[in-house]
Structure formats: C-alpha cells, structure tokens
Structure 1
Amino acid sequence: MKKKIAVVFGGRSTEHEVSRVSAYSIINNLDKDLYEIVQIGVTQQGDWLPYYGPADKLPDGSWEDIARQDAGLADCNDRKNCKPELARGIAELEKCDCILPVLHGQNGEDGTVQGLFELLDIPYVGCNVLSSAVCMDKVYTKIVLDRAGIPQCDYIVAHRHHILEDEHAYEDEVAAKLGYPCFIKPSNSGSSVGCIKVKTPEELHEALMLAQQYDRKILIEKYVVAREIECAILGNINPKAAQPGEIKPSAEFYDYEDKYVNGSSICVIPANIPDHIAEKIKEYAKAAFTACDCSGLSRIDFFLSRDENGEENVLMLNEINTLPGFTDISMYGKLWANEGIPFTELLNSLIDLAFERKQQNARRTSK
C-alpha cells in the first residue's frame, strides 16, 4: 500500500517563491509507485490550501487561484478582517503518513511549523522544533557552535532598538573588532535575504536600517576573503557527509539572485581542495549537525581562507541550512548525486529517516 506523503510548500516568508520551485522539483522526483502525493500550499497571506491540480502550476504561483476556487475562498489581503484559513490544509495533513515540508525562512524552517507537525503526531522530514529554531537564528547558532569548538567568523550582535535610536550605533564596535568591509545579516532570515556587504563606515547605518526590517536582531560579521564550500549531511544519530562542493558566485557574494533566480554561479563538485581539508570540513559539518541536535538533512556552509603564511587552510563555518533548496540548481541534491544517490533515492531516504526518528522519539505518555 502506498504511503500518503504531504508536500507542504509556499509560506509567508520572503522565500515563498523559492519554496514553490523546490516543491515542484520534489513532486516531480518522488517515486509515484511508493507514494501518493498530497499537495498543500501555504499562501503569503497564511492560508493553508489543499491543491489537487498539476505541479507545473507551482513555480509561477498560478496554483493558488485554482486552490482558492476549489475551496470556495476569495483572496483576502486585509489580514485585519480576514484570518488565515488553516482548517482545510490541516485536515488534509491528518490523513497523511508523513509530511515533507518545503518551507524556507520564517514560519517554515524556524521550528514553528515543526511544532504543528509534532502536535499532529505525524512523522516529518527534517530537523525537530529545537534544532530548526536554533539553526534559523544565526546568533544562537553562533553560541552553540562556539561551545562546540567549531571555528567561525568574528561577529557583533546588533539590536533594532539601538539602530533606530542612534544613527551611529555600533560604529565604534565595528571599527574596533571587525573593520571594513563587513557583512550585515538579519539573524532570522535565509537565502541571503537582507544580507549586505558594507565597505565603509558611512554605509553601516543604511545597511543596518535595511536589515532591521527583516528582524529585530542583526548579525554584523567580519568579512573574510575566502572560497565558499558547502557540505551536505544526511542522517539522524549517525549522519553521513557528502564530499564538499564549491560555489563560485557571479556577484560579490552568493546572494539571493545567484541562488535562485539567474543561476549564474558555478558549482564545482567535488570541490578542488586537498583531501585533508575535505575531511576536516566533513568532520566539522557532522559535529555541528550533532551539536545543534539536527536530524534528517542539512547543508552546512563553510569559508576556506588563507593563513598569515598564505596557506589555504583556515576553515570557518558560515551557516547551517536545515531545509536547503531543492531546485534544479540547488547544491544539496547535486552533492548527493555525486555520491551516487539520485534525487528520487535521496527523497526515499529522507522519508525513511522521518519514520526512523519518529520511532526513536517514541516514549510513554502515561503511567
């Protein structure tokens, strides 16, 4: 008997469009002999809508009008007078054997929707509530990785209220600890949304003002001249690491456009790095995965830079992505394909891991 798999896509975050494209790719590659696929879209207004139409309507967003019409719902952009419609989507989830969330950013990979799945008591692909929340918050990720002894870039934590109160906020700290250029990143945001490279003190306040629109907490990070190396992790208690790959951005850094829109960055798989560096990356990646209590999957990104003698051997962990993109140009699937695991088989493994974790977490609920 086929397992019923819910693919949940869209969401209210700035990465809504990316999610739709990833979901389209996943639905096309799921094994139809093993699974019955249930499509549930989350609109940018927060409505959870079952969608029974073809998956090729997902990338351009036209699925939503069809789903609304099927549900007898009008569009509602005024959230003051129109609460999100959740009941239909949740009712469909309750009929499923497993949930495959394809939700990026806030309310997608930050532990909130994972909490819903836990309440429904349904196995789901990916990290649990705690690890999703920690890894989504760049500042808390830094704290956990510091304790785990994993090297990272120097950083300062900025707060919205200070930025709004003082246009010179953090200027002295940045000059003393980080220097220029530096990077500004909203603490809770993915896909490089709101990330800005600041080259001079005069640009700092403007960049902070932009970043605070996405989050009340902002990470100011030291800029390093480095190669961008990515490592894919798969597993639960004993995770496996794929051979790392390298991203060569077409812009100054690997931004949203490069990742999901124009695809003009170059992926080198496997990365052209010495074996001992590759092994160290895999070691750090698995250690970070475990330290943050991750499960299922993650893509863990590193910087590789030169030491004071010009030797390319300095590694720093950049970030952990608990629900990486699954578009045709996304690195996670490509890294496992290089290991001999095609996309369909990879999806099978992720679903199996969801059931495995559910069984591992089973515990008595009564005396």
Structure 2
Amino acid sequence: MSTSGKLQVGLLFGGQSGEHEVSIRSAQAIARGLAGNAEKYQLCPFYIQKNGHWSEPELSAQVLATGQPVANETRRTSFQFPASAAAVDVWFPILHGPNGEDGTIQGLLRLMGKPFVGAGVLASAAGMDKIAMKTLFAAAELPQVRYLALTRGQWQSQTDHWLARVETELAYPCFVKPANLGSSVGIAKVRNRAQLQSALDSAASYDRRLIVEAGVTAREIECAVLGNEQAQASVLGEITYRSDFYDYETKYTEGLADLIIPAAVPEDLSQRLRKLAVQAFEAVDGAGLARVDFFYVEATGEVFINEINTMPGFTSTSMYPQLWEATGLSFTALVDRLVQLALAGD
C-alpha cells in the first residue's frame, strides 16, 4: 500500500500476442475507471512490449497517454521486473490472447504472491483453448454445435481423411479455428473443399491444435458474468454486422458492428441464457469476470454456447462493460468491483 494509504493497482497491458494494440485500448479505459476511484486506488502501469520487456511506469504511462506501442528495447533477463513491481498490492492484467489470458501470466502473478483480477490458471487456460473449453462444457452438459478437433500433425499427415470427415460429419458452411487464439484471429468461414483446405493450412500456421465447427444460421447473443463463488449475469446483448462473420476487423473497428443492448429476446429465453452463462463460468472454474457467447437459432428456439472469454475487451466498442452499464453498474463501479473481487478471492 502506498504512503497515501491507497492500494497500488498494477495495470498490466500490451503483451506478446496479436492483440497487443487492443490491450492498450482496454488499458486506457481501465485507467480511466481507476481514476474514478482515485480516493481508493493508485494506478501503477506496466506496459509489456512485444518482445516481452516489462516497461517502467513512466514509459508505461506514456503509452497509455498516446495509445501507441513503442519500439522494442533490450530484453530483460527472464523474471527480472521493474523494481516498482514489488510495491503493487493487486494486479489488473488487461492482456488478451496468448501469454495474456491463457493462464501463463496468471501463473506468474500467482508465483509473485499478489492477488489479481480475473480467472486463475485453470479457467484462463481452458477459456483460451477451444478444445479444452468444449470438453468442459460437454461434461457440464451445456448445448454446443457439432465440431471436430485435430492437431497440425494429423492434418498434415492425413489431409484427405480430414477433408472427407469434415464434409461427412459437419458439411458446409463450417468454421475453421486455431484452438488457442482470441479475437477471431485465424478464423475462416468455408463453403467448399478448396476453402476448407486453405483455412486449415492457415489455422495450422497459428497453432498446433485446430477445430472445425458446424455453421448455424443464428443470432449472436452475449452475456457478461461478474463474481467469484456467487457469480451474477448481466442483461443480454446482441451483435449484428454486415460482414460475412464477426472477424477481427469487424470486432475492433467502430461502425462495422452494432451492439444491441438489451437484446430483443423473450424473457424466458433471457433467463435461460443468463443461467447457462453462469453454468459455463462455473464449468471452467471462472473467477472475477467473463463474457459468454451464444448462438440463438430463432427458427427452432435452439441455443448453443459458443465460447467463454475470461478476459473480455474493455475498449469503447467492447460488449462486456456496456452490458453491465445497462444492468445498472457504471464503468467506474465495475472496475472497483473487479478489484474488490480480486482481493476477496486471493
């Protein structure tokens, strides 16, 4: 705790994933939220450069101010952090993607012996790995679309087998995804064999574990979850867009997607999805926060859980904070609640 009696909040952002710039934007919003709680918290920012170098708070504050990444500096020796990191009371790792929300940084923070916002190692790893996630959802008997999981080695050694299997068991259209990337990176919608082969080749360049999911004609509904042992679900939101699917550009470019909050769905469906969102959170052993995404097939009334995101974005276009705003929790109050949940869950 600082000499002023305020809790030192270590805001950890940037990172080595392809979502580096998104993390900076999320961190800017979190910093504003902490400023709204200035009587309780003192911001101590730590920017992780793309080469893994942990920047001092002074340079980190400059990145927050400009919103621009900096050129890589000389890399520190492994596990050598800025001296000011020792004064942090609670960490807020607003990192997205691999080496950010996949359990790696969570394990490091656990070893450092300080509480941190968000899920622990298990939930973070399961939330990032789509195959592990789907396995846990299946064990919890949560409804999911049909899918096939394979490795890069299986794809490269048995190409014709997997092409035929996808066509037989899933059919077109279907979605090809790397198992361990977020924000729609490396995902492709395919409608024929040539596209399928190209998409699997591309996905294999990102990750050694791959997944192919059956396509469904559905509305995309999202729900925010907040809490530890007694998690609560927000009102629902719906994403609409004009692109072929909700890809990276659509997700993070203002004006390309519309967020409808609250989603115009029947009340019984709303209650069902909110219950399923909490069940998904519990299935992966979530903590702090998560956003759960669903497919709602309006023609049949079917719902399928798509995925859980254990560290959702906090940018101006992000659904998570907007869902809580619509539920009655302001952004400043949300940030405060997340820090308090971190302290309570340690």
Task: Specify if TM > 0.5.
Answer: yes
- SS, match of residue 217 in structure 2: coil
State whether structure 2 residue 67 is matched by structure 1 residue 59.
yes
User: Counterpart of 2:50?
Assistant: 44
Contact 1:244–1:271 (8 Å) recurs in 2 = yes
User: Counterpart of 2:17?
Assistant: 13
CA displacement, residues 274-299 of structure 1 (integer Å, 9 cap, x when unaligned) = 00111110010001111110000000
State whether structure 2 residue 25 is matched by structure 1 residue 32.
no
State whether structure 2 residue 330 is matched by structure 1 residue 337.
no
Shift in Å, 1:50: 1.8
Please, which runs of 5 or more residues in structure 1 have no aligned partner?
66-73, 77-81, 359-367
Please, which runs of 5 or more residues in structure 2 have no aligned partner?
none
Contact 2:254–2:317 (8 Å) recurs in 1 = no
Q: Distance in 2 between matches of 1:238 and 1:279?
A: 17
User: Counterpart of 2:270?
Assistant: 278
- SS, match of residue 273 in structure 1: coil
Which moves more between the two structures, 206-215 or 165-174?
165-174
- SS, match of residue 68 in structure 2: coil
State whether structure 2 residue 150 is matched by structure 1 residue 158.
yes
- SS, match of residue 218 in structure 1: strand
What pairs with 1:185-334 in structure 2 (closer than 5 Å)? 185-306=177-298, 310-311=299-300, 313-334=301-322
- How many aligned positions are there? 338
Shift in Å, 1:341: 0.7
Shift in Å, 1:351: 0.3
State whether structure 2 residue 341 is matched by structure 1 residue 353.
yes
Q: Distance in 2 between matches of 1:84 and 1:269?
A: 46
Which moves more between the two structures, 50-59 or 230-239?
50-59
Q: Distance in 2 between matches of 1:92 and 1:197?
A: 46
User: Which of 95, 108, 113 is 1:116 aligned to?
Assistant: 108
- Code of the residue aligned with 2:29 in structure 1: it is S
- SS, match of residue 51 in structure 2: coil
Shift in Å, 1:92: 2.7
Sort the Cα spacing of 1:84 and 1:203 in 2 relative to 1 into closer, same or farther, 3 A.
farther
Shift in Å, 1:217: 0.4
- SS, match of residue 57 in structure 1: helix
CA displacement, residues 236-277 of structure 1 (integer Å, 9 cap, x when unaligned) = 001000011000023111111111134420000000000011
- SS, match of residue 87 in structure 1: coil
Contact 1:168–1:205 (8 Å) recurs in 2 = no
Contact 1:23–1:102 (8 Å) recurs in 2 = yes
Shift in Å, 1:142: 0.5
Shift in Å, 1:56: 4.3
Sort the Cα spacing of 1:206 and 1:152 in 2 relative to 1 into closer, same or farther, 3 A.
same
User: What's the Cα RMSD here?
Assistant: 1.5
User: Counterpart of 1:362?
Assistant: none
User: Counterpart of 2:73?
Assistant: 75
CA displacement, residues 314-338 of structure 1 (integer Å, 9 cap, x when unaligned) = 1000000000000011000000000
